[in-house]
Structure 1
């Protein structure tokens, strides 16, 4: 039973939708340039092939970058925060609670030897330059490959002006078929490997010269040539193209591109032209979305499929992949700009944007409804809405930006309320805070919608460790939502405020709020918030040391969530339940909870929770004596937290590896890792937990002892150094080796147990489960678990096996027979 499920990905390059023709020499030169320069920018007019070349270079450069090549699309980014978010998403870095994403990104990439491909930097060159400089200064092993119409102007930037495709020599007819431009035209005209007659070849060569070897222009003209006479196409095009100056300037190429796009657009029918310009409203889309947004009396929905098929066939639309069984499309960047200009020239731009926003609003409000819908619903159906919003997130951002530009506070707030659960589950907390604050400031009415968003803003503040803001915002939200009879938001806020009370050690007030929330949820038949209140009550009981009550509360919450088939809720509650079982030394129950939660998190993909589950399974494996398996799970947790920038997760895993190392004989490494874990937690403002740090009174007057020195040295380690040490220890720990067992200490006397504890211990020794013991003694399972926890606490044992061995040995002692004096 090995922990790792798969090898780490080393690239996220999108699939190529068509063959790259030619460019062999350019690619070779670019690879050499990338070897000697940390920043390379591919510049040139739109349609010249910058993105396609960058992707091919990246694919061929993978072997040179041990930590992978990572592609981030920046064409839709408008702010520095969005640039950072898109880079972080590309490399798999997850926003940390309580920290700005930029800091997390920089630290997570520190020491990683990788290539970042930042595509479409034109609208955010200043922000890309600023972020790029920070990344380059922090990590000498990062390289950047950028695409932009113009230089981005990062220091030491090597600029590569992407040339057009090689053209044939007009006088050397036999070489025509070897020309890059001609090869591309023929492939798009008749398919790969096709041949044409000499007369067609001369016409194609002439067209390629007129198009100046611009790949997009060649593809557009070749697509039209498939549906007519090649000579007629050449004649039609001749009147539209500007006269070439022959100097190869980018301004001339831009004029050629504009002319070809205008010519191609003019050949379209009325339906195709209407759909073409309206599609500029999308970054990407599927057919269903296009039908809902682009149709009206002028363009009936029934006509959109045929119109879209024509645009695909004319190379004006490209396919980007598939999601949830739906094919997704986009306009090439240069085509998109042209289509957007056509849309702004019409009176329909406003109505198209409104229809687009209405569809996005309908989608995110559906997410807000089903994410916490307090009734049974198939998880696949619930989760599909999450995935759908994720697929349309760029469209959602467009709608948010447009609403902000117009000052449409109500529409913006509605979208924020619907998006909240995605922001939380995907750890887009900074984005959620930004957009919520923006539209809350716009809203002067402070009505029901204001309170609804404010309640969710309070939860974001809590998750970002801004506890004072969470409390203040939560109290205001509770007042507004009570006035508006917004029961769902009241329930959310009561549970959240209970957490703030617990953190302030006001457990009595927390209990009052949770009781109120539980009663309100039950009165309204809201299963989700009933389960949430029970879970928080379980956390409160555990905090107060009442583990049996915590166990019962978590079990009840799980029963409700399983009945709803809400896997996300089940996964979160299982972690709390596992922690309680672990605290009671009920290893079997803890293992079951952690493993089930692990399966759920692998499916859903919430990284911090996945790492927490891996660490939990590793700790339990250690306690059960499965050393190699423990190292496997803890190593995976450690690497996952490190690669995604989760310092709290790194500290947790380091502490667990330290515990395992200590019991495994790696004394020095255990102390160092313990010190490193403490140092990380202190640096991010989290309380410290288990530590091998010696007590002050144990340190000799002459100075710290050897073990203390190890601990302090570990305290000073960087995260990368500590992780590397932990992995070395894990690797050594997996290797079986002879051990010299420590001499056993005297076994504790059974006199330390109460009569009931002794009775339960006898049943444990007989192999009975908690359920069987409870049935035999007519007590609850939670009572059995509490007694077993007390036995372990009194004896220092950590497993049922140790209890069983102890009782069996004690029963064999003749001094314990009934006839002994």
Structure 2
């Protein structure tokens, strides 16, 4: 590398003065940190040679272990200093760095050995001055931040710590200064500007703090800088924000004139001077809402516990307490000052009191240290400080932005501010620079938010009267326009495909609806907004919420009564009631009114929607003839239309036919619907029809496939329906697929493992999304499995509970099936009279409703109960089995036929009628083409072969 030149190196207007330790561009000094300067010095002296990272470390950080990231920080600082000539510094991958150009040396070299360390430990012989305050307590959770800032202070001459009030800028700056003292080899001064109200006093304050002995009334920044001269020092200048322009001028003058001075400033907004590096102090880490298990790993929780123990020495955080602490820290945004206040109050009031009163945080969170500055003694005072420094236009915008609980875009901010886009954008930029607004990113467009504590403060300032009412009205009107694509049939599919764009506004939309539909809001505006967003809620898998807003809006419909708004709201409420509450009279009335309005407006889209809803209502409540009427009406309306409409009609007709045991025609219709329903606009069609035609067709068709003995196909179809249902990401669609797969496929085929898997998922999913009818099905699956596994008492309880929920919800598609399961459980428990009563209920219901496909199995189970009871005439039992076989045969239901036939053969064997298996079972068995490994079919084969 050669010898170090203690002279002046020059290249293309750049000068590197080793004697003065100064980098200049066209004669003007360029600010650069001490260690960054040493890296540049090493590279220039190397005359274009590559210098390895190891060599740089040995020279610049002698005897220390330095991470790659530290070198990269300093390399970035050099490139920033070089500006437009940043490409002079080259990174040679895997080898090191080099500086380009012919740097001319204008002085003779000194005979100093290469790699002589330029930084020496702090001398004990020389006296250096410092007023850096001693540490009052441990700085919890800041080690990573300290490491980052230490690197920056050696790479840049001016580092500004920014962030909102209470984030810990002053404490952090003091700790950084204390860490630098041992190797500083110069003075270190802490200069506090918090008490200044006159910007003109900034130079005087620095002169006094540094004991410069300047006289006169006109002490300027330049005069202070000249007085500092060549002294080596670190200046920590605290709280620059209230005199920001004067502070910036003072620091700029010092950096320009005093090459041996570095500045560490704290401010809620940037100094905006050349050479400044802004470091935004992050909040402490807080656990996610669902991540309480490792709460102790998060620095916010650690600080809370440390401060609580300082006041309550025996404080011991249990898991329950950790959950409360995590909640408190998260709601306080990880701001150290707020957490310290909360910990102080928790030590006297208890954790639950604090966690439950965070909405009143400005009254609750007081009690900072008596030695703290007044603005740090209450949370409100900390924010008052920042708020009072704002010009009125920015105060007004900050107040208006408080109505956004989920952040905001520029368009939304313009809408509520009432100002121009340029004025609003400038004000947001200023609020960001003052650490009151946080930039969240621009992945799908720029977005900002207020820290929750700042938002609560600004919302309080906004009040509840005129300004608040005006801001909320503007917000509701903005969202009325923003969500309009969900209310336009031609735009609906595109809106669904861009759902992420709208999803971010969920909490903001809730706030707008909550206000509009409140007593102090605007009911008509709220009704229009609820109608406009009804499909959005369903697309978000929030069917229940769609119904809730529609119901509130209908109560305040006012002059919108009889309008399209009412039609849309009735449709939304009707669908929601079907899926969350069941088939109530109220739901039917709501939908009937919606259909009348749709016909009055000649709205084909909503005629389809409401017709499908009324069909769904009838089908699920087992009014199969009514369902067929709606289905045939729909079929006539769409005759000759597109394939999607015809596939929908096939689905509507095929489902009631399935339960009426028209298995061949129903199966063909449902299979055709599943294969031909287009998937292009699938999510849009789910909103319009209240179901996914493809998965619903497949799920229902499993009944036809099993009945006709196509058992393997039924299993495949069930699995395919679940797979496709998952792709829709709609809870009610997945519940349909899970229910049919668990019940009509797995339980009918006695595949207990699959029934358990699907049943448990169904229970969880239905509970999570408030889908009561499907929760009832899940309970019944659980009961059936308990009974079949030898625990009939538990099975009886779960089955009765689930069946009771079904009756209350009038969700009766599975009702006879589970009455049979209940009868079997009662039979297993020896309660034969109750079993016969329930099987009688199942038979009566099925015959009354035309639910014919279950009748053969109900008759067979009745025969099983009588046979087990062993008091009936054998001919009665035999007749029941034969009736079951005859009806199954008439329906083309060979699976139920072989099931009844097997029971008959086994009964005859037990009662001396052996030798009948081949005659009874073989003709049925020979009709099967698949499913030979299923329990019932393989059992029949064993009997045919004489192995029973």
* TM-score for the superposition, normalised by structure 1: 0.53
The question of whether the paired residues in 1 share the 8 Å contact of 2:584 and 2:809 is answered with no
Q: What residue number does 1:584 align with? A: 705
Question: Structure 1 residues 572, 161: CA separation in 2 closer, same or farther (over 3 Å shift)?
Answer: farther
Q: CA deviation at 1:566?
A: 0.8
Question: Structure 1 residues 47, 394: CA separation in 2 closer, same or farther (over 3 Å shift)?
Answer: closer
The question of whether the paired residues in 1 share the 8 Å contact of 2:546 and 2:572 is answered with no
The question of whether the paired residues in 1 share the 8 Å contact of 2:702 and 2:718 is answered with no
Q: What residue number does 1:368 align with? A: 487
1:345-398 C-alpha deviation (Å, 9 max, x unpaired):
99987775554323311233322336995xxx5xxx553444444432232233
Question: Which fold has the larger relative contact order, with Cα–Cα distance below 8 Å and residues 6 or more apart in sequence?
Answer: 1
Q: What residue number does 1:149 align with? A: 360
Question: Structure 1 residues 358, 14: CA separation in 2 closer, same or farther (over 3 Å shift)?
Answer: farther
The separation in 2 between residues aligned to 1:616 and 1:11, in whole angstroms, is 37
Q: What residue number does 1:359 align with? A: 478
Q: What residue number does 1:598 align with? A: 722
Q: What residue number does 2:389 align with? A: 264
Equivalent of residue 299 in structure 1, options 414, 420, 428: 420
Equivalent of residue 546 in structure 1, options 657, 662, 685: 662
Question: Structure 1 residues 518, 419: CA separation in 2 closer, same or farther (over 3 Å shift)?
Answer: farther
The separation in 2 between residues aligned to 1:541 and 1:630, in whole angstroms, is 25
Q: CA deviation at 1:647?
A: 5.6
Q: What residue number does 1:202 align with? A: none
Q: What residue number does 1:209 align with? A: 373
Q: For 1:598, what is the secondary structure of its paired residue?
A: helix
Question: Structure 1 residues 445, 438: CA separation in 2 closer, same or farther (over 3 Å shift)?
Answer: closer
Equivalent of residue 545 in structure 2, options 415, 425, 428: 428
Structure 1 residues 107-506: aligned runs within 5 Å: 146-149=357-360, 162-166=365-369, 208-214=372-378, 254=380, 256-257=381-382, 259-266=384-391, 272=394, 275-290=397-412, 293=415, 298-301=419-422, 304-305=424-425, 307-318=427-438, 325=444, 328-336=447-455, 339-340=458-459, 353-369=472-488, 373=492, 381-404=494-517, 408=522, 410-424=524-538, 425-426=541-542, 427-428=544-545, 431-440=548-557, 442-443=558-559, 446-463=562-579, 464-465=581-582, 467-502=584-619
Q: What residue number does 2:304 align with? A: 23
Q: Larger Cα Rg: Structure 1 or Structure 2?
A: 2
Question: Structure 1 residues 354, 670: CA separation in 2 closer, same or farther (over 3 Å shift)?
Answer: closer
The separation in 2 between residues aligned to 1:699 and 1:454, in whole angstroms, is 47
The question of whether the paired residues in 2 share the 8 Å contact of 1:323 and 1:391 is answered with no
1:224-283 C-alpha deviation (Å, 9 max, x unpaired):
xxxxxxxxxxxxxxxxxxxxxxxxxxxxxx4x34631432323x8x5x556434423422
The separation in 2 between residues aligned to 1:47 and 1:631, in whole angstroms, is 43
* TM-score for the superposition, normalised by structure 2: 0.47
Question: Structure 1 residues 579, 793: CA separation in 2 closer, same or farther (over 3 Å shift)?
Answer: farther
Question: Structure 1 residues 548, 292: CA separation in 2 closer, same or farther (over 3 Å shift)?
Answer: farther
Question: Structure 1 residues 522, 394: CA separation in 2 closer, same or farther (over 3 Å shift)?
Answer: farther
The separation in 2 between residues aligned to 1:794 and 1:51, in whole angstroms, is 79
Q: For 1:315, what is the secondary structure of its paired residue?
A: coil
The question of whether the paired residues in 2 share the 8 Å contact of 1:579 and 1:590 is answered with no
Q: CA deviation at 1:706?
A: 12
What is the number of equivalent residue pairs in this alignment?
Answer: 559
Q: Pairwise CA RMSD of aligned residues?
A: 5.9
The separation in 1 between residues aligned to 2:547 and 2:459, in whole angstroms, is 30
The question of whether the paired residues in 2 share the 8 Å contact of 1:371 and 1:421 is answered with no
The separation in 1 between residues aligned to 2:341 and 2:695, in whole angstroms, is 42
The separation in 2 between residues aligned to 1:56 and 1:792, in whole angstroms, is 75
Q: CA deviation at 1:581?
A: 1.3
The separation in 2 between residues aligned to 1:36 and 1:809, in whole angstroms, is 62
* Alignment pair present for 1:652 and 2:777: yes
Q: CA deviation at 1:605?
A: 4.6
Q: CA deviation at 1:410?
A: 4.7
Which blocks of at least 5 consecutive residues in structure 1 are unaligned?
1-7, 58-115, 120-143, 152-159, 169-207, 217-253, 712-747, 761-787, 814-821
Q: For 1:584, what is the secondary structure of its paired residue?
A: helix
The separation in 2 between residues aligned to 1:387 and 1:668, in whole angstroms, is 48
Question: Structure 1 residues 524, 335: CA separation in 2 closer, same or farther (over 3 Å shift)?
Answer: farther
Q: CA deviation at 1:541?
A: 1.9
Question: Structure 1 residues 448, 329: CA separation in 2 closer, same or farther (over 3 Å shift)?
Answer: same
1:460-502 C-alpha deviation (Å, 9 max, x unpaired):
4444336322333333333332222222222222223334455
1:624-650 C-alpha deviation (Å, 9 max, x unpaired):
676545533433434444566666445
Q: For 2:358, what is the secondary structure of its paired residue?
A: strand
The separation in 2 between residues aligned to 1:461 and 1:645, in whole angstroms, is 11
1:380-430 C-alpha deviation (Å, 9 max, x unpaired):
x55344444443223223333444457755533332222223444412255
The question of whether the paired residues in 1 share the 8 Å contact of 2:618 and 2:627 is answered with yes
The question of whether the paired residues in 2 share the 8 Å contact of 1:23 and 1:165 is answered with no
Question: Structure 1 residues 55, 490: CA separation in 2 closer, same or farther (over 3 Å shift)?
Answer: farther
Q: CA deviation at 1:55?
A: 14
The separation in 2 between residues aligned to 1:436 and 1:417, in whole angstroms, is 8
